[in-house]
Structures are given as C-alpha cells and as structure tokens.
Amino acid sequence: MSNALIVIDVQNDFCPAGALAVPEGDLIVPGINALMAGFDVVVLTQDWHPAGHSSFASSHDGKAPYDMIDMPYGPQVLWPDHCVQGSTGSAFHKDLNVTRPDLVIRKGMNPAIDSYSAFFENDQTTPTGLEGYLRTRGVTDVTLVGLATDFCVNFSAVDAAKLGFDVTVKQALCRAIDLEGSLDAARAGMRAAGVTLA
C-alpha cells in the first residue's frame, strides 16, 4: 500500500494576475510544498490547452467568459483563454516545488474536449493515464490539493473515488472559483462520492 499526493493545476493563470485567477490561489503553495515529503508518490497536473481550444469563449462568436454551451459530451462553461501550451500562464507557480514530483500529467490537450479531471477528459471515457500509473506504483490512498476546489479538484476527487481509491481533499490547500454556488455543489458531490473533506 502506498499513498499519493495529487497537486492540481497550481499554474500562473490560476493564481492572482493570471488569465483565470482563483482568489488567493498562490497562498496554498508553501503548504503544498511542505506536504510533499509525507507521500510515497507526488503527481502534478498541468492544464495544457492548444490555442483556440473549444472551451475558450473566444472560440465561439458572440459568447463571453462563463457563458454555458452544450458540447457533444455535455454542458461546458466557456472560459477566458488560459494555460495555452508553452505560455507563461501555463507554467507552474514559481514557488511550487517541481523537483520532488514523480510525474506531471498534462490535460486539456484535445482541442475538442475540455479536461477538468486528472483521470478523465470531460467526456468521462478518455483516460489521462494517471490511474494506470498509480496502480503500478501500488497506490491505494490519494490526497488532492490545488486549484480550483469546485472544478478540477472536485472532478479529480470524484473520479478517483469512482475508481476505488481512498480519497481525501485537504480544503485548506485548495481555493475555489465559486461560480453561482459551484463550491457548495462540489462539496456535496464529493461527499456523496465518498470523498473525505479534511
């Protein structure tokens, strides 16, 4: 048995002054760094969109950031352009420990499908490969931290629980966007999936 820390999307565009800034997103970095030493496996996820991604409001005429549209895989929030591959915004926060992690999972690379979860794209069927990696490392317990609580942390935690991992989300080391009650809904959904909110 081993445990893994999964650090979700601690990238410049999700931190203050970023294109899709999560309030106080940078304040969780020291705590995340301190936590890394206590885990057998550490994984970072990185939002990694091609320019013109279908989840960007700028890719849809007459649409604004945070509008909703229907995609073939279901409802999709349209976002400001963010975490474009190779951009400064897509880089990890400068203070995040990027030496300790064993693996970086990049997601959202398919221009037609967004990817909130560290485990699956938003079609809920296309895997990222993270599950297989964790299984080969003997991981049974996963702890999630990062950005944002109500989107990528939430989707990753629920998917991990569905896959049979014992899942904990450390809320003090996450921050939320909270669009129209999305944080409360995410917390309820995570609890219903069997995720421990610590």
H-helix segments, 20-148: 29-36, 130-136
> Which are the catalytic amino acids?
9, 107, 152
**How big, in percent rounded to 5, are the helix, strand and coil portions of the chain?**
25, 30, 45
CA distance 92 to 75: 28
- Dihedral sign for Cα 179, 54, 12, 149, please: positive
Which burial class, exposed, middle or buried, applies to 124 when counting CB atoms under 10 A from its CB (0-12, 13-18, 19+)? middle
